[in-house]
Amino acid sequence: MNQQPWRSLDEFADTPEFREWLHREFPPFASEWPNDVNRRHFLKLMGASFALAGLGLSGCTRQPLEKIVPYVKQPEELVPGNALYFATALTLGGYARGVLVESHEGRPTKIEGNPEHPASLGASDVFMQAEILNLYDPDRSKSVLHGNEVTTWDDLLAVVAAERAKWTANAGTGLRLLTGYVTSPTLLDQIAALLKQFPAATWHAHEPLAPLHATTFYDLAKADVIVSIGNDFLGPGPAQLKYTRDFASRRRATNEAANFNRLYVAESTPTNTGARADHRFALAPQALRDFGLAIAKGNAHPKSSATVLDDLRKHAGKSLILVGDSLPDELHQFARAWNQPLQIAQTTVSNVKSFAELIRDIEGGKVETLIILDGNPAYDAPTDFEFAKKLAGVPLRIRLGLHEDETSALCQWHIPAAHPLETWSDARAFDGTATIMQPLIEPLYDGKSVHELLAALTGNVLTSGYEIVRRFWQVQHPDDDFEKFWRRSLHDGVVAETANPFQVLPAVSPNAKPEVEKPANGAVELLFLADPHIQDGRFANNAWLQELPKPFTKLTWDNAALISPATARRLNLANEDVVELKFRGRSVRAPIWILPGQADDCVTVHLGYGRTKAGNVGNNLGFNAYALRTAAAPWGGSGLEIVKTGEHHPLATTQQHQSMEGRDLIRVSTLAEFAKSPEVIAHLGEAPPTASESLYPTVKYSGHAWGMAIDLGACVGCNVCSIACQAENNIPVVGKEEVARGREMHWIRVDNYFHGSPETPRIHFQPVPCMHCENAPCELVCPVAATVHSSEGLNQMIYNRCVGTRYCSNNCPYKVRRFNFLEYDRNKFENAPVLKLLRNPDVTVRTRGVMEKCTYCVQRINRTRIDAENQNRSIRDGEIVPACAQACPGQAIVFGDINDPQSRVSRLKASPLNYDLLAELNTRPRTTYLAKLQNPNPELKEP
Amino acid sequence: MNAPLYGLLAEFETPEKLLAAAQQAHALGYRKMDAYSPFPVEGLTEAIGFEKTRVPLVVLLGGITGGVTAYGMQYYSAVRDYPLNVGGRPLHSWPAFVPITFELTVLFAALAAVFGMLLMNGLPKLYHPVFNVPEFKLASQSRFFLCLKSSDEQFRLAETRQFLETLGALAVREVGR
Amino acid sequence: MAQLFQRRANGIANAVIIGGVLLFAGLCGDIFTFGRSDYWTRVDEPQAQTVPFSHQHHVAGLGIDCRYCHTSVEKSAFAGMPPTETCMTCHSQVWKDAPVLQPVRDSLQNGTPLRWTRVHDLPDYVYFNHSIHVNKGIGCASCHGRVDQMPLTEKVQPLYMRWCLDCHRAPEHHLRPTSEVFNMGYETPTNQIALGHALINQQHVAVEGLSDCYTCHR
Amino acid sequence: MNTPEHPVVAPGYDSESVTKKIADVVLIRPVTRGWLAGLAVAFALLMMMNFAIGWLLMRGVGVWGVNIPVAWGFAIVNFVWWIGIGHAGTFISAILLLLHQDWRTSINRFAEAMTLFAVACAGMFPLLHLGRPWVFYWLLPYPDTMGLWPQWRSPLVWDVFAVSTYLIVSLTFWYIGLLPDLAAMRDRALRKPVQLIYGIMALGWRGSARHWKRFEMAYLLMAGLATPLVLSVHSVVSLDFAVAIVPGWHSTIFPPYFVAGAIFSGFAMVLTLVIPVRKAYGLQDFITLRHLENCAKIMLATGLMVAHGYITELFMSWYSDDQFDIYMTLNRMFGPYWPAWWLLMFCNILVPQTLWFQKVRTSPLILFVVALLVNVGMWTERYVIVVTSLHRDYMPSAWGMFHGTRWDWMTLIGSFGLFLSLLFLFLRLLPAISISEMRKLVREKAEANK
């Protein structure tokens, strides 16, 4: 396999220092440390096992003697073998989402949402889940670089000291600080201090996806009618989790008083929000703007918008208009005014200087020293800025970053940044709530935090992140109970009473106002969107996110030019055809992907791909859409030219077929219908055969009987269940080629179906884990009893008994089983030694040749059961939460004991919405679904 | 040939001659004799007074053993030793136990047939006195032989030889031990 | 030379056949027994250690309780290996310059952990949890044997799945009152079976699920 | 019919000449260039397979095209195909024996040998197919240290027993059939070592009347046992599919139609091999047009049964009104794998219809071509059953495609190498026609003519 890229790391990992450090940090783990001897032994075992038939033993030699390594000094709170949880926060585009991090003997292994935190509410988004992989990313930069020379932090401090002398002389003329979006109170304080010290210095901020206007946040739970105009509020964003929770809370028909909201979405390309719409209008950007303006101006054109407007007016004060970033300011102003009653927070443009201004200064030769804190402008700046070229004109360039990326390559000095889970810091949520971030682990590659760097720049005596952050908060809380406040804040993961709806957070000012476009008839329009999983490119080197199938296209490892079926027909294009996209004198080559529900004559490209210095995972994937993106047209525009090249670029999708073929896999009805007769759901498909139809008696389960209910009405298809499961269960990444062969390993997949016409399809999501069928077809055909039922009705899969006939997978009608066709555990994504630290010690790492599948997170079930048994009490309802359910922001997944009629899951399964997938097969699945209800406007016929 | 005598071996040209010879020898009271032919000859065994074979019985026993073993093994392991809930099926899913029971029945019966046959035929027997006669190699190809053993109380070297010659043997040879 | 084989060929032929059969049977038997032999399973094989720690001396001799060193045995899956500190609590006073304890002192000085050779080492796909066993009344000695009589620790059980199952299917044979769990010298009473059944109820042992695969494998 | 029937053996032979003609092929005839070349090619293919297998064991089944949903691929297709071919031998030697078909005599030895080699090839694939082949023995019941047993409800375990039983029974059946001939070889061999080898293998057979009696009885009983066995083996194999709930697999008609298909392909393979062999070794007098014609007739009959199977399947999926089943059928005909389905219809239904004509049945060349096409058709049938059923079953979201990789093909083609190598050696080392039975036959014919 592809060993080359890792060579250096392997060497690093085999150095005595590293091992020694490893033993010191993770004693019980050390014995499991893989070394070549083991690997050779594995191979020997393979050959010799032939000779050794007849023994229930593995290996041709006796079990090798292993070492066990205790601590020298054992930490106070630590009980070896039991996990600890710490509250901290992670940021996305500057905004904090509170998290709880699970730590085993000092290794962070899993991230969960912090229920106390307003932006998380206990749930998580895909980026939170994937962040743990970023922490251990073997490609992270490991040392301070001067040019290509490895040097030290002290050398840099020396340089900084020399510079400071100059700045004190010239008040910091020529000193420029470039950051991303900052909400960290401590950092803001430090920056303020720096600017105070050196008045002539300036601070610029750059976020490639920064909105061009103030951002406001609303209380969705209170909204009866929501109109989204190109705003994917259920998609990635600072308030995604809260929005999803609130939206779902108005979509449950299980509780008596079902007060549904109604969602209208007008958008150019399908988004999670559009998929949940009761009425969805697929409109190209120009048409979308007209649609919005029609509503804003109140003139009833086109027809549909009139109806929408009526509905809005009917619910004035209890309705929302959410407008997308790509739409003009006047529309935003109208919306803000309309939404005022439901506003809960707002961030407005502050006095931060823009990136455009920085460019101008550089051109004017005004910049002596440029300090770039994180971000990656060399890659994601508007292409017409030619930042990369101009940067060379800056005499001294210092960069702090997690990776030696495109930007670092252009700076003399690169400082390895410490990962959020390695540092002390703080950050604010969308509503201003502050969280003090605490480190879970010593910096793996002695990285430095922004605070430490700024301390150096300001000549602060306090140099450790801890002191800096603590001092800042001490200043905020001079009273003597600070110690209590500090500990409580750390414990809770939120700083009490920091939320403030009317607080003004510093936002990023726009690079330039886009010129107002006049519709160019017939011309194809171009639309830029952040990639749903790697965003502006910052997650490009995260294999979990790369392999996570993107909503709708289900593509992995690539971006594509999305076009509608009609447009494809008109231009005679097929999937995977490579075209040249020519936009205002610039061009890129991109593969085509035909997407039902995409607006006609509109090409959507996702930003974030085509990176060249992301790392071994993210390099040279997809195409770089930034190459078309200018400051004047940050969200695209009309006048796109599409030239067929005749080339072909294979894309790896995990769902090749997105029609339900008229099968009752997802049952959908309307609230009205359901209110009239709840049986409507049952009539939508086959009912399971009665027990009397079976030749065999049904097995009785005394004691617990675990089951799961998935509420399709609450699922927004955010994919977090898939990645949470991957993080919890040591699921390997297999890479594009294997995915293309149909060998992806996700235990829970989110199926995505288009229903109705390809132009205006209804879009449905369905998370599919193992059904844990009571009459499991898979078990029946296993020749070695590697998959059998537990006394609690779990469909057990025993890896170490599996011989790999794959018969079970063939006989699984839901196709939820996954097979280790190759030694994925040692492929180029998994074999980096440092990644072994990421493994969940409670879950077996599967070798090649064995089947695996969803276990309902049996490790969590067992842990809870043992805890309960040790305390001689019974397991409480809701005490066991599988990773998928815990992460789900819509709380669509509910797990529990179906033998207990009072449990939440039992009550859900009792609902008339509940149905079995493929019921007619009489598999008696333990996982069942609640049908999805729409709430369409009777006055508006389809869509 | 002065080695102690095993018997006299008469060579015949056709199976009919051999059959006739065998019958007459038997009529004369010869019992310890054997006939050899390149292919089975109707009635020859009866002619030399060979009671019916017990091969079928052995096969029956083999079959029964196989069937019982197979079903017993499946019942014991699936119901008694480690009862497992497999896809909600009963522990004693007898229909599923049938195929293997059948296969092992056939297997054991077949092996019983083969080894029973070999055993009763006293094979392998690489060395046998009759091979002492060089011409006996024709017995596996085209010629038919009748061997009267010296151990038979009717056996008198001279008379027996003379008797065999009268039966139209191409040749009568002495078989050493 | 009509005779192709000598007379003794028959004997040889039979000998070869019978011999072959016996050989095969013997081989199967050997493999079967070898796989269960003490040699293969390392039962009764004292493991050399960097520091020749004697449970006999510390447990029987000094009467130190198991939990003094194996602190997490009641709270965690992992019984807990004593950190160097624990050793030094005493050995900073007694035997403070005994040469055998040099590695221990070094460990504390340089902060390099001691490295013991594992005696009881289950495969990575087996998830054994000490706390539940201890809390439900399985004595240490039931699996680890009379550690208090071992100058150097050794295995007394093969730790084969079959062996685990014996107890998981019929725990009544091995259950003790929780008070007796750490008692090395505990004698199985004559009415063990009756007592065992009583303890199953008393100490809430959920026997039903004990032979589920997921009890030990995940 | 008016055309004179060809004899089962050309006139003018007696025990002596029959023995000579057959035995000399092995004992006297020198090693020819053709034989050497053939063996060389076969062996080369075999080596290619070993290479492919080595790679497979090193890297894992991922080197093949298998995936989710199509978790079974070439390995199972080849297994079923080879096992099917392995049915003709026992059918000829057992069932035709019980039916007193004297024409079986001159081809049963050859067909049985073919059966053994085919089953050997077949047996290889289920093992290679495993994700962890080195623990294959977990499918056998033995007292292990884990206290675990095979899961008897799984058809794969039935397979293990069915196939191994079939292999052992065929082998012993074939061997005791060989005993008298080995004796003949022993007695005709010219050089001492050769004599010794055949002598040992013959176990000292001397054609005593008692031996013959028991021998015939045992042989008859074996035939009686082998008859239900041969029917059971492919029935069990078909249960691998019929027991599963996959649309296109879950069908009660599978056992009979698999058995018919097996015999169909078996006889096709017999013809494919016998036609060149009888020419090469000048055995036209023993393997006469009569044999070829009868084989062809059986192919026609079984072919019609198979056709009936296909048609019934189509009818049932329409009649069942089961959406999954209907989709499966349409998908086979018009889905991505449509050429395979139409090819198998052509090879297995259309082509055999030519066998209605005696002209075809009695012209070795055409027969050879027909047989080849049927072999291809039957492989395609298994491919269609395995792949097209799996690649689109219940959940459209999980649908996928399967494409064999070069390693798949190398293993398949390599298995021909194994098969042919064994066959070439057999032709060189053992009498390809049962001499003792031929003697009996010529004698009976002689008497009949008197």
* pLDDT tens digits, one per residue of D371-416: 999 999 999 999 999 999 999 999 999 999 999 999 999 999 999 9
Q: Is the pLDDT reported for residue A56 higher than 60?
A: no
Number of C-alpha atoms within 13 angstroms, CB side, residue A263?
30
Q: Is the pLDDT reported for residue A530 higher than 60?
A: yes
Contact state of C118 with A73 under an 8 Å Cβ cutoff: no
Contact state of C135 with A792 under an 8 Å Cβ cutoff: no
Reduce the secondary structure of chain D to three states and give it as a string: CCCCCCCCCCCCCCHHHHHHHHHHHHHCCCCCHHHHHHHHHHHHHHHHHHHHHHHHHHHCHHHCCCCCCCCCCHHHHHHHHHHHHCCHHHHHHHHHHHCCCHHHHHHHHHHHHHHHHHHHHHHHHHHHHCCCHHHHHHHCCCCCCCCCCCCCCCHHHHHHHHHHHHHHHHHHHHHHHHHHHHHHHHHHCCCHHHHHHHHHHHCCCCCEHHHHHHHHHHHHHHHHHHHHHHHHHHHHHHHHHHCCCCCCCCCCCHHHHHHHHHHHHHHHHHHHHHHHHHHHCCCCCCCCHHHHHHHHHHHHHHHHHHHHHHHHHHHHHHHHCCHHHHHHHHHHHHCCCHHHHHHHHHHHHHHHHHHHCHHHHCCHHHHHHHHHHHHHHHHHHHHHHHHHHHHCCCCHHHCCCCCCCHHHHHHHHHHHHHHHHHHHHHHHHCCCCCHHHHHHHHHHHHHHHC
Give residue ranges of A with CB < 8 Å to any B CB: 696-699, 773-780, 782, 785, 788-791, 924
Residue A270 CA to residue A578 CA, distance in Å, equals: 22
Give first-to-last CA distance, chain A, whole Å: 50
Q: Which residues of D touch B127 (CB under 8 A)?
A: 204
CB atoms within 10 A of CB B85: 20
Amino acid occupying residue A13? A
Which one of A693, A699, A701 would you mutate to disrupt binding with B, by most B Cβ within 10 Å of its Cβ? A699
Which 8-state DSSP code applies to residue A700?
P
Give residue A302's pLDDT band: very low, low, confident or very high (50, 70, 90). low
**What's the Rg (C-alpha) of chain C?**
25
Overall average pLDDT of the B68-87 stretch = 94
Question: Sign of the CA dihedral A699, A702, A703, A708?
Answer: positive
Contact state of B132 with C2 under an 8 Å Cβ cutoff: yes
Q: Which residues of B touch A699 (CB under 8 A)?
A: 85, 88
List for chain C the helix, strand, coil content (%; round to 5).
55, 5, 45
The lowest-confidence range among A326-330, A460-464, A813-817, B93-97 is: A460-464
Which one of D140, D149, D213 would you mutate to disrupt binding with B, by most B Cβ within 10 Å of its Cβ? D213
Among left, alpha and beta (phi > 0; psi -120 to 50; other), residue A539 is alpha
Contact state of D209 with B78 under an 8 Å Cβ cutoff: no
Overall average pLDDT of the A397-424 stretch = 94
Q: Is the pLDDT reported for residue A55 higher than 70?
A: no
Q: Which residue, A898, A702, B87, is CA-closest to C208? A: A702
Contact state of C115 with A68 under an 8 Å Cβ cutoff: yes
Q: Which residue of A has its CA nearest to D76?
A: A805
**For strand A396-401 and strand A369-373, is the pairing parallel, antiparallel, or unpaired?**
parallel
Residue D239 CA to residue D237 CA, distance in Å, equals: 5
Residue A799 CA to residue A824 CA, distance in Å, equals: 14
For the ranges A527-531, B152-156, B158-162, the maximum mean pLDDT occurs at A527-531
Q: Map residue B10 onto helix, strand or coil.
A: strand
A239-276: pLDDT as tens digits: 999 999 999 999 988 766 678 999 999 999 999 999 99
Q: Map residue A145 onto helix, strand or coil.
A: strand
pLDDT at A34: 36
Residue A80 has its nearest CB partner, among C31, C40, C80, at: C80
**Which position has the higher pLDDT, B4 or A783?**
A783
Mean pLDDT across chain D? 91
Contact state of B99 with D14 under an 8 Å Cβ cutoff: no
Q: Which residue of C has its CA nearest to B135?
A: C2
Q: Is the pLDDT reported for residue A59 higher than 70?
A: no
Task: State whether residue C107 sits within 8 Å of chain A by CB.
Answer: yes
Residue D65 tokens, joined: 């095209």
Task: State whether residue B56 sits within 8 Å of chain D by CB.
Answer: yes
Overall average pLDDT of the A655-668 stretch = 91
Q: Is the pLDDT reported for residue A590 higher than 60?
A: yes
Give residue A61's pLDDT band: very low, low, confident or very high (50, 70, 90). low
Chain D nearest CA to B159, separation (Å) = 24
Overall average pLDDT of the D52-78 stretch = 94
Which one of C1, C3, C4 would you mutate to disrupt binding with D, by most D Cβ within 10 Å of its Cβ? C4
Residue D104 CA to residue D91 CA, distance in Å, equals: 10
Q: Is the pLDDT reported for residue A10 higher than 70?
A: no
pLDDT at A942: 60
Buried b (16+ CB within 10 A) or exposed e, D62-73: bbbbbbbbbbbb
Task: State whether residue B4 sits within 8 Å of chain C by CB.
Answer: no
- Subunits touching B (CB < 8 Å, at least 3 pairs)? A, C, D
CB A156 within 8 A of CB A413: yes
Which one of D203, D214, D447 would you mutate to disrupt binding with B, by most B Cβ within 10 Å of its Cβ? D214
Residue C17 CA to residue C8 CA, distance in Å, equals: 14
Which 8-state DSSP code applies to residue C58?
I
Residue A72 has its nearest CB partner, among C108, C117, C123, at: C108
Q: Map residue C208 onto helix, strand or coil.
A: helix
Residue A731 CA to residue A734 CA, distance in Å, equals: 9
Residue A75, preceding peptide bond in cis (omega within 30° of 0): no
Percent of chain B with pLDDT over 70: 98
Give residue A183's pLDDT band: very low, low, confident or very high (50, 70, 90). confident
Residue D59 tokens, joined: 């890297």
pLDDT at A379: 94
pLDDT at A510: 57
Q: Which residues of A touch C92 (CB under 8 A)?
A: none
pTM (2 decimals)? 0.91
Q: Which residues of C touch A790 (CB under 8 A)?
A: 209, 212-214
Percent of chain A with pLDDT over 90: 67
Task: State whether residue C6 sits within 8 Å of chain B by CB.
Answer: yes
CB A544 within 8 A of CB A130: yes
The lowest-confidence range among A10-19, A790-799, C185-194 is: A10-19
Return the number of CB contacts < 8 Å for A and B: 35
Chain B nearest CA to A922, separation (Å) = 11
**Which position has the higher pLDDT, D198 or A53?**
D198
Overall average pLDDT of the D45-63 stretch = 94
Q: Map residue A814 onto helix, strand or coil.
A: coil
The lowest-confidence range among A187-196, A340-349, A785-794, C157-166 is: A340-349
Q: Which residue of B has its CA nearest to C6?
A: B127
Q: Is the pLDDT reported for residue A206 higher than 70?
A: yes
List for chain A the helix, strand, coil content (%; round to 5).
30, 20, 50
A127-157: pLDDT as tens digits: 999 999 999 999 999 999 998 899 999 999 9
User: Would you list the DSSP string of A255-309?
Assistant: SSS----EEEEEESS--HHHHT-SEEEE--HHHHHHHHHHHHHT---SHHHHHHH
**For strand A706-711 and strand A749-755, is the pairing parallel, antiparallel, or unpaired?**
unpaired
Contact state of B82 with D147 under an 8 Å Cβ cutoff: yes
Question: Sign of the CA dihedral B76, B80, B82, B87?
Answer: positive
pLDDT at A43: 34
Which 8-state DSSP code applies to residue A369?
E
Percent of chain D with pLDDT over 90: 74
Contacts of D405 (CB under 8 A, 6+ apart): D63, D64, D65
Q: Is the pLDDT reported for residue D310 higher than 90?
A: yes
Residue with tokens 């027996």: B160
Give residue A521's pLDDT band: very low, low, confident or very high (50, 70, 90). low
Task: State whether residue B54 sits within 8 Å of chain C by CB.
Answer: no
CA–CA distances in Å: residue D225 to residues B116, D166, D252: 15, 11, 25
Reduce the secondary structure of A457-502 to three states and give it as a string: HHCCCCCCHHHHHHHHHHHHCCCCCHHHHHHHHHHHCCCCCCCCCC
CB atoms within 10 A of CB A412: 15
User: Would you list the DSSP string of A609-668?
Assistant: ---SSS-TTTTT-S--GGGG--SS-TTEEEEEEEEEEEEE---EES-S----TT-TTS-E
Residue A263 tokens, joined: 């969602």
- Subunits touching D (CB < 8 Å, at least 3 pairs)? A, B, C
**Which position has the higher pLDDT, A122 or A504?**
A122
Residue D23 tokens, joined: 């035995």
The lowest-confidence range among A302-306, A330-334, A797-801, A869-873 is: A302-306
Contact state of B126 with D200 under an 8 Å Cβ cutoff: yes
Q: Which residue of A has its CA nearest to B96?
A: A780
Q: Is the pLDDT reported for residue D149 higher than 80?
A: yes
Q: Is the pLDDT reported for residue C99 higher than 70?
A: yes
Phi, psi (deg, nearest 5) at residue C168: -65, -25
Chain A nearest CA to C128, separation (Å) = 11
Overall average pLDDT of the A69-97 stretch = 88
pLDDT at D4: 53
Contacts of C128 (CB under 8 A, 6+ apart): C77, C122, C216
Q: Map residue A852 onto helix, strand or coil.
A: strand
pLDDT at A520: 56
Contact state of C132 with A68 under an 8 Å Cβ cutoff: no
A844-854: pLDDT as tens digits: 999 999 999 99
Residue A232 CA to residue A897 CA, distance in Å, equals: 36
pLDDT at A106: 86
Q: Is the pLDDT reported for residue C1 higher than 50?
A: no
pLDDT at C167: 94
Give residue A589's pLDDT band: very low, low, confident or very high (50, 70, 90). very high
Amino acid occupying residue D445? K
Q: Strand order in A396-401's β-sheet? A: A149-151, A144-146, A413-416, A396-401, A369-373, A175-179, A202-205, A353-354
Which 8-state DSSP code applies to residue A760?
S
Which one of A806, A847, A917 would you mutate to disrupt binding with D, by most D Cβ within 10 Å of its Cβ? A806
Task: State whether residue C157 sits within 8 Å of chain A by CB.
Answer: no
Q: Is the pLDDT reported for residue A176 higher than 80?
A: yes
Q: Which residues of B touch A788 (CB under 8 A)?
A: 84-86
Overall average pLDDT of the A448-474 stretch = 90
Give residue B3's pLDDT band: very low, low, confident or very high (50, 70, 90). low
The lowest-confidence range among A516-520, A862-866, D272-276, D418-422 is: A516-520
Residue A930 CA to residue A913 CA, distance in Å, equals: 5
Give first-to-last CA distance, chain C, whole Å: 72
Chain A nearest CA to C127, separation (Å) = 8
A64-78: pLDDT as tens digits: 888 888 888 888 778
pLDDT at A350: 66
Contact state of B126 with C13 under an 8 Å Cβ cutoff: yes
CB A647 within 8 A of CB A578: yes
Which one of D90, D161, D235, D245 would you mutate to disrupt binding with B, by most B Cβ within 10 Å of its Cβ? D161
Residue D150 tokens, joined: 């095979």
pLDDT at A14: 44
pLDDT at A452: 93
Give residue A890's pLDDT band: very low, low, confident or very high (50, 70, 90). very high
**Which position has the higher pLDDT, C56 or A632?**
C56
**For strand A706-711 and strand A927-930, is the pairing parallel, antiparallel, or unpaired?**
parallel
Task: State whether residue C1 sits within 8 Å of chain D by CB.
Answer: no
